[in-house]
Amino acid sequence: MKRHLFIALLVFTLGTAGAATAYAVGKITWLKPGQCESVGGVKACARAPKAVTVTKTVKKTVYPPAYGNVYSGPGWQIVPPFTVRHATTITCKTHLGDEFVVNNWNGQTILSNNGGSDTTCGNSPLPPGDYELQVMADGPWTIKVGS
């Protein structure tokens, strides 16, 4: 008999504790930052969340500087990527043919000499930035970045 009474008392105590815990958790869960609530004679307050700083790393490809570099090819060609750090010029040193156009990767025309054969086909300003040039020519060519 004592054993049954002990088990009944244990079940009742655990059940009551579980219900009280569920009640307390239910009341505390809905508290807003800075709000307080009395739960079973104990004051419970919700704290404001701490500020979190998130740092995002952006991976950027850094190309070699091109100042003074000379590029050449037999016709249509993509020049290896390079970076211009300070405003400079791009100069067409030689071109044997009638058509010569230099575009950047974004389609912007950098240098052009269409419709005439010329051994020195001009120059153009080149602002700072990353470049990957596409040379479209109908003959051998040489270009130079910088002076």
Question: For residue 116, is pLDDT > 60?
Answer: no
Answer whether residue 92 is part of any domain.
Answer: yes
| CATH number of domain containing 92 | 2.60.120
Answer whether residue 96 is part of any domain.
Answer: yes
Answer whether residue 112 is part of any domain.
Answer: yes
pLDDT score for 24 = 47
Closest-CA residue to 89 (of 117, 127, 119, 55):
127
Whole-number Å distance between alpha carbons of 96 and 120 = 9
Q: Provide the number of structural domains found in the chain.
A: 1
Answer whether residue 18 is part of any domain.
Answer: no
pTM above 0.85, yes or no: no
* Contact between 131 and 81 (Cβ < 8 Å): yes
Our CA angle for 92, 93, 98, nearest 5°, is 65
79 is in which domain, residue-wise? Answer: 70-145
Answer whether residue 123 is part of any domain.
Answer: yes
Tokens of 68: 């003074």
Answer whether residue 125 is part of any domain.
Answer: yes
Q: Which residue has the higher pLDDT, 28 or 30?
A: 30
Answer whether residue 53 is part of any domain.
Answer: no
Secondary structure (3-state) at 16? helix
Answer whether residue 43 is part of any domain.
Answer: no
Instruction: Give the chain's mean pLDDT.
Output: 75
Q: Which residue has the higher pLDDT, 89 or 34?
A: 89
